Amino acid sequence: MQFVNEAPGKVTGTDIVPVSLELSKSAFNEADPEKTNLKLLLKNTAGDQPVSGVIQLLQPEGYAGKLTPIRFRGIGLGQSVTIELPYLASDTLQYRVTLDGGVTYTASVKLGQSFASRFGAKPSDAPAIDLSRADQYFSLGGKWKGADDLSSSSNVSWDDKNLYVSVVVHDDVHHQTWSNGDIWQGDSIQLGIDWSRKDGSSSRNVSELGFGLNGQGGVTQWRWRAPDGLATGALTGAKANITRDETKGQTVYDLTIPIDQLHGPGYAKAPGDPIGFTLLMNENDGAGRSGFMEYNGGIGTGKDAALFGDMYLLKGSFTELLEESAETAVESVKKQSDMTRVDAAANFVQLLPEGKAKQKLLKELEKIRKKAL
Ligand SMILES: [Ca+2]
Ligand SMILES: [Ca+2]
């Protein structure tokens, strides 16, 4: 990924970007919640002098409102600082690096990580899957006019029999007159699911599914790509309840997809392994398919299941994962604290829902800050 230098003239007369950003992602293990699987590496790639400044998450907005800037100091040429990240769910993360002196750079890194709660779990607390950003919109001649024009918030849950996908779409004009494999030309959603994602590009369990509601209330369920041993065409095994509320400009897709429709006969996924997941929304406001929005990738601009993101099917509560990882993060800065590590630990705590656990950890952090910094 490349940094975009927003003030090229200010960097010692050249447009060389002195820092780079890399997201390192390891396997997620629900049984070891204290071992979070994301680290951000901020490297001084071209700054002759040690660089200092802050790094701040800009997107997704839901996180940006909670997470605070992380300070870093004196990274020498060729050196890097590692920033531990809490459990985040998104297709991409956008950061802004501000160096001392005020020069800023923005960079996006691909995350491709989401979580599904166990169906019926109360509360169902896996983070929502949001399609609401300009960078998720791909124009096919149209122009995205904002969240009321097209956006969605989705939740996925699961049990031993089914995957449940609920997509709440905001779209000012619902237009769908196509049927069967052509529904992508009108308002509709497409799901990419890879039930054996660990097999990478040789996976034999990739599905591309589509769901649409036409003007007469008719629902189309379609499959363009099927796991080995299953047929493409009408997706008769799934249940889709799709409703349109014109007053709210809202279309709700409630999908129940049997898991045996997502893999070939006899295949069983190991419980902890992620599935591949991509969600695409087609946009048609009455003048043809004008664009689409895609969470992750691999459907809209080219068929490639390797571009799907990881989705982890949780057995337990997502909030507990956040809490246990935040406790560990705070413990670790009791032993070894520098401002980068303390700021990073604070962001683990900021993500927690309001309550006693959060208050307790905030107090501990405050003590560490006063003592060490
Ligand atoms: Ca629209
Ligand atoms: Ca539309």
CATH of the domain at 274: 2.60.40.1190
Range of the domain at 60: 4-113+318-372
Whether 142 and 200 share a structural domain: yes
b/e code 132-165 from CB counts within 10 Å (16+ = b):
bbeebbbeeebebeeeebbbbebbbbbeeebbbb
What is the number of the ligand closest to the CA of 174?
2
Q: How far is the CA of 249 from the centre of ligand 1 (A)?
A: 9
Share of the chain above pLDDT 70, in %: 96
Is 120 inside a domain boundary? no
pTM over 0.85: yes
* Amino acid at the residue 140: L
Residues around ligand 2, an ion, CB closer than 5 A: 171, 173, 187, 285
Q: How far is the CA of 97 from the centre of ligand 2 (A)?
A: 37
Whether 59 and 181 share a structural domain: no
What is the number of the ligand closest to the CA of 282?
2
Q: How far is the CA of 134 from the centre of ligand 2 (A)?
A: 16
More confident residue, 13 or 327: 327
Q: Is the pLDDT of residue 214 over 80?
A: yes
Q: What confidence tens digit (pLDDT) does each residue in 17-46 have?
A: 899 999 999 999 999 999 999 999 999 998
Record the tokens describing residue 166, joined without a space: 């609920």
Q: How far is the CA of 3 from the centre of ligand 1 (A)?
A: 32
Residue 9: predicted pLDDT = 37
What's the distance, CA 74 to chain centroid? 31
Is 119 inside a domain boundary? no
Q: How far is the CA of 260 from the centre of ligand 1 (A)?
A: 34
Whether 267 and 181 share a structural domain: yes
Whether 147 and 287 share a structural domain: yes
Cα 97 to Cα 102, 230, 272, 304, distances in angstroms: 10, 48, 35, 32
Per DSSP bridges, beta strands 137-139 and 289-295 are: antiparallel
Q: Is the pLDDT of residue 362 over 80?
A: yes
Whether 263 and 330 share a structural domain: no
Residue 47: predicted pLDDT = 81
What average pLDDT does range 346-369 have in this prediction? 96
Is 31 inside a domain boundary? yes
Whether 44 and 159 share a structural domain: no
Q: What confidence tens digit (pLDDT) does each residue in 230-267 have?
A: 999 999 999 999 999 999 999 999 999 999 999 999 99
Q: What confidence tens digit (pLDDT) does each residue in 316-336 have?
A: 999 999 999 999 999 999 988
Residue 373: predicted pLDDT = 59
Whether 183 and 152 share a structural domain: yes
Distance from the first to the final alpha carbon of the chain:
33
Please count the structural domains in the chain.
2
Secondary structure letter of residue 300 according to DSSP: S
Q: How far is the CA of 172 from the centre of ligand 1 (A)?
A: 5
Q: Is the pLDDT of residue 3 over 80?
A: no
Q: What confidence tens digit (pLDDT) does each residue in 331-351 have?
A: 999 988 899 999 999 999 999
For residue 16, what pLDDT band results from cuts at 50, 70 and 90? Answer: confident
What average pLDDT does range 175-190 have in this prediction? 98
What is the number of the ligand closest to the CA of 186?
2
Q: How far is the CA of 301 from the centre of ligand 1 (A)?
A: 20
Whether 135 and 174 share a structural domain: yes
Is 121 inside a domain boundary? no
Record the tokens describing residue 107, joined without a space: 């960079």
Whether 97 and 26 share a structural domain: yes
Secondary structure letter of residue 353 according to DSSP: P
- Supply the mean pLDDT for the chain: 94
Is 156 inside a domain boundary? yes
Domain boundary pick from 313, 338, 361 = 313
What average pLDDT does range 163-169 have in this prediction? 98
Residue 370: predicted pLDDT = 87
Q: How far is the CA of 186 from the centre of ligand 2 (A)?
A: 7
Q: How far is the CA of 239 from the centre of ligand 1 (A)?
A: 25
Q: What confidence tens digit (pLDDT) does each residue in 120-157 have?
A: 877 789 999 999 999 999 999 999 999 999 999 999 99
Is 12 inside a domain boundary? yes
Q: How far is the CA of 277 from the centre of ligand 2 (A)?
A: 23
More confident residue, 5 or 69: 69
Q: Is the pLDDT of residue 6 over 60?
A: no
Residue 14: predicted pLDDT = 46
Whether 178 and 275 share a structural domain: yes
Q: Is the pLDDT of residue 10 over 90?
A: no
More confident residue, 14 or 251: 251
Whether 143 and 237 share a structural domain: yes
Domain boundary pick from 313, 346, 364 = 313
Is 34 inside a domain boundary? yes
b/e code 230-260 from CB counts within 10 Å (16+ = b):
beeeebeebebebebeeeebebbbebbbebe
Is 169 inside a domain boundary? yes
CATH number for the domain spanning 361: value is 2.60.40.10
Whether 164 and 274 share a structural domain: yes
Q: How far is the CA of 372 from the centre of ligand 2 (A)?
A: 55
Query: Is there a cis peptide before residue 60, judged by omega within 30 degrees of 0?
Result: yes
For residue 11, what pLDDT band results from cuts at 50, 70 and 90? Answer: very low
